[in-house]
Amino acid sequence: MKVLIVDDSAVVRQLLAQELSKDPQIEVVGAAPDPYVARQIIAERRPDVLTLDIEMPRMDGLTFLSKLMQHHPLPVVVLSSLSEKGSRVALEALSLGAVEVLHKPTAAHAVGDVVQDLCRSVKAAARAKVQTVSPVETRSSLSMTRITNRIIAIGASTGGTQAIEFLLKQLPHDCPPILVVQHMPPTFTKQFAERLDSLCRVSVKEACHGDLLARGQVLISPGSLHMQLRRSGAQFFVELSDGPEVCGHRPSVDVMFSSVGKYAGQNAVGVLLTGMGRDGAEGLLNMRAVGAATIAQNEETCVVFGMPKEAIKLGAASQVLPLNTIAGAALAAASAPESSTNKPALMAT
């Protein structure tokens, strides 16, 4: 039986391929670092079974599993250090159609401990009957317990406090999670968040290290710290740090956007608003390169057309819009089905 290994760790891919190949009934036909490469190998080598990690850049394993079961169902064994069988992530993977979920060892020398179970699961999966799961069925099976994987990231500087207030006041109470970096002194960001919270239907707070992302919540980076998106299984959270300034700023929009691109990929929307300088331009370009929707505020409605202008010059913005249409466009992009418009070249068909 032909097996494809999908895992972002080169060491794990090598070890799993080596160990699985020792079984005479198993042929490892490929090892992919992410779902985009996996898709190409699936088309070319037609594997019988996939082993799939959950925490990967560009597209997480649960999102890939959902898409796979909708469009090209294959038996999948989820192998992840973040997916012990009793956890919510494991249950979600199983509900999406995974045949089995196994715990990935945390150290290379421990791979051998799970090989027997993995071989058994791969062989069982090869005999399993998998069926196409429609988007409606997927949503129904997850109901309200599904963890959102859509994120809106907003960056701004000069003129941004008004622009952010205008934008957030248009959003519904259950909008996707939102991260905001506004260049502002540290003593002001908490007050800024509290003001917005009193004015908006969404919940707004100054971010704390380790805050989990949730629907209807806006996290604003403290004025003295970088804010980055991180992921644990299917759950997103923020990490705060006091590293060096980037583009002359801490927090930096570039730092935040780049982390969102890395961990949320095409499931994110980047919005770059009015501001002086170029902070956010490179980060927005990074987001677009991995398939995220990207929006820059137009010159006519900017207080300072610096940051959006630099992003537009780089080709980082998929849309250039006036402020009064950005909220609607961001929500539409966050709820839209996958589109090829912003995908990296690897995804072109």
Residues that are catalytic: 157, 183, 279
Tell me how far apart the alpha carbons of residues 342 and 288 are, in angstroms, rounded to a whole number: 6
Cα 35–chain centre separation: 13
Q: Beta partners for 235?
A: 232
Q: Count helices and strands (H / E) in the chain.
A: 12, 14
Helices (DSSP H) in the chain: which residue ranges? 10-20, 35-45, 61-71, 88-95, 111-127, 135-142, 160-168, 186-199, 253-264, 281-289, 307-314, 323-335
Please tell me the distance from the alpha carbon of residue 74 to that of residue 98, in angstroms, as a whole number: 9
| Residue reference for tokens 């403290």 | 222
Residue 249 in 3-state DSSP?
strand
For residue 266, the SS3 value is helix
Type of residue at 168: L
CB 96 within 8 A of CB 71: no
Other Cβ atoms within 10 Å of 111 Cβ, number = 18
Gyration radius of the chain over CA positions: 21
How far apart, in whole angstroms, are the C-alpha atoms of residue 234 and residue 330? 22
Nearest to 99 by CA among 71, 76, 126, 72: 76
